[in-house]
Chains A and B, each alone.
Chain A
Amino acid sequence: MELNKEEKAMASGELGEAVKWAINHQIKVGNFFDAKNFVSVSNVHMMIDPESVGIDGVLFLENLVGMGAKVKIPMITDPRGVDLNYYTPLGQTEEMANIERRTIKACTSMGILMTNTCVNYQTIMAPIFGEHVAYGDTGVVIYSNSVCGARSNYEGGPSALAAGLTGRTPRYGLHLEEKRIPTKKFLVKFKPEELTDWGLLGALIGKISGSYWEVPIIEGINHNPKSDELKHFGASMASYGSIPLFHMIGTTPEAKNYSSKFLNRLDDHIITLDDIISLKSQFGKKGDKIDVVVFAAPQLSIFEMQKVAELCIDKSFKVPVIICTSPQVYSDASRMKLIDQIEKTGAKVLEGTCFYNQYAREIGLANGWKRLMSNSAKIVNILGGYGYEPSLSSMENCIASAVAGEIV
């Protein structure tokens, strides 16, 4: 990679050992992807949950703190893995909580803002068109690239941290215009109604696309999707296919760059309602018993919180109901009495976490939770590997099923 004077100073250690680690890590990654140079980024979002980081990751972070590491640009965090106000009832241990506490301490020592959200584009600050950023949650990246027109690769925790310390990232992947050109075309022949439909549609497009390096363009959505709909759509596409960018004709800003003539050169992948029903049928059926209902992945917006609260009125649940939202939304929802309304039923709202990165395997075993129901196509994809038998349905049906103790 070509390095400027400042970057050479970073690489040689003139700007400290932490920065030296960071830029040399980035150079290795940049060389792997044939980056020619670096691009400055305006802000960073880092995934750093304790289950992924582990004790060895914490020691790595603490070592960086010992080297005097400080981030150069604003840097925020993805959801935590332990809600420190509510972990014993979930079956989480002191050891897990201590990894969380040490992670938070190390991050704050480096100047990182503990926003603990995967919906920062709804709650903190959405990036603007063309803005180069280094974001580290797949749902955040795909929304920011596609809906906002920002430029980011998936930046895993270590690389996001390195970007925070150097203020830049290697110029490869979606920082290059040529990597943002559509490679697959999808024609949607039904109208997604619920968030779950959007998640299933994203899942199908993700599965068919199947690679980080594919860029789907979607035709046939003839109404204006809402932010929560595109949130579920993108997060699911990223989960099933590792896709970091999509274009949607009539909706996303870069879709108009591609002429009909260009798009006609791509094969049509047609998606029908039957395809959606077929995929959904893999996740539970009417009459199946359930152990827990979860609304998360992505964290709920204030609108989703309002809807859950309305659905909870006069309800009593036979199985636990868990809702994960960001600290920003939690604070508003608390002030607006939505948390009270939800928790009056016995349901629990967790602040600043997301269920699947909360030691999902261990809390499932501790609580006897195997048959998990959600309206998130993303979470049901993830949790199969954690020993769950997940089922998928609309938010309304999840609540009705929690009342009945089985899928209705």
Chain B
Amino acid sequence: MKTLLKCHIGIGKKVQGEVLSANDNFSARYDLDRLKGIFSRPQHKLVGKSYVDKILVLNESKGGVASAWMLYEMCARKMAPKAILFNKANTILAQGASLANLTICDRFIDGDITSLLSSGQRVTVDPMNGLVSIL
């Protein structure tokens, strides 16, 4: 199994943490109870799980523009993931991560990141070099 995964250059600082992974999509507005720090959308594969301080690994970002402000607000309250890894990010999540200085990466050359990483694994995310190391 590969322990070093390559992706496009991302945004934010180098972080280390525990993976929370699902083959599902993401919107801060549609899917989260941001006050409690959990996934709240009943149909979401991570419903009821806390995303706070996790390395969140999901397929794509979806839905509306609100997530951009919401990421900033979540980070300011320290109720945010440490990083988000997508197969493909949309513009909103990249813009929100830029304002919030939240670590975000996407476009992994090794394949589907939601298959390559499992919940509970520990990883280091290095967005400036486009690398994720499995510890």
The residues of A with any CB-CB pair to B shorter than 8 Å are 25, 28-29, 31-33, 47-49, 51-54, 56-57, 60, 136-138, 153-159, 173, 210-213, 238-242, 357, 361, 381-382, 384-387
A159 touching B60, Cβ below 8 Å: no
Q: Check if A382 sits within 8 Å of B63, measured CB to CB.
A: yes
Choose one: A28, A54, A212, A381; the contact of B91 (CB below 8 Å).
A212
What are 5 A-to-B residue pairs whose CB atoms are below 8 Å? A60-B99, A138-B63, A155-B95, A156-B66, A382-B29
Q: Which B residues touch A48, using CB under 8 A?
A: 69
Q: Do B43 and A384 touch (CB < 8 A)?
A: yes
Task: Evaluate contact between A156 and B32: CB separation under 8 angstroms.
Answer: no
Residues of B within 8 A of A213 (CB): 88, 90
Is B69 a contact of A32 with CB atoms below 8 Å? no
A383 CB, min distance to chain B CBs, angstroms: 9
Asked whether, in the complex, the Cβ of A56 is within 8 Å of the Cβ of B76, the reply is: yes
Of all chain A residues, the one with the shortest Cβ separation from B70 is A52
Interface residues of B in 61-76 (CB under 8 A from A): 61-70, 72-73, 76
Question: What is the interface of chain B mostly: helix, strand, loop, or mixed?
Answer: mixed
Number of A-B contacts (CB under 8 A): 135
Q: Are A242 and B90 in contact (CB under 8 A)?
A: yes
Closest to A381 in B: B30
Query: Which of A60, A155, A385 meets B30, CB within 8 Å?
Result: A385
Q: Name the residue on B nearest A21 (C-beta).
A: B99
User: Please, which residues of chain B bring their CB within 8 A of the CB of A210?
Assistant: 25, 60, 62
Cα distance, A43 to B31, chains bound together (Å): 31
A156 touches B96 (CB 8 A): yes
Other A-B pairs, 11, CB within 8 Å; known A212-B61, A242-B62: A25-B98, A52-B29, A155-B91, A156-B95, A158-B68, A158-B69, A158-B72, A212-B91, A242-B90, A357-B66, A385-B31
Contacts of B70 in A (CB 8 A): 52, 54
Q: How far is the CA of A56 from the CA of B29 in the complex (A)?
A: 17
B132 CB-CB contact with A under 8 Å: no
Give the complex CA separation of A159 and B8 in angstroms.
21
Contacts of A52 in B (CB 8 A): 29, 66, 69-70, 73
What residues of A have a CB within 8 angstroms of the CB of B65 in the complex?
47, 136-138, 154-157
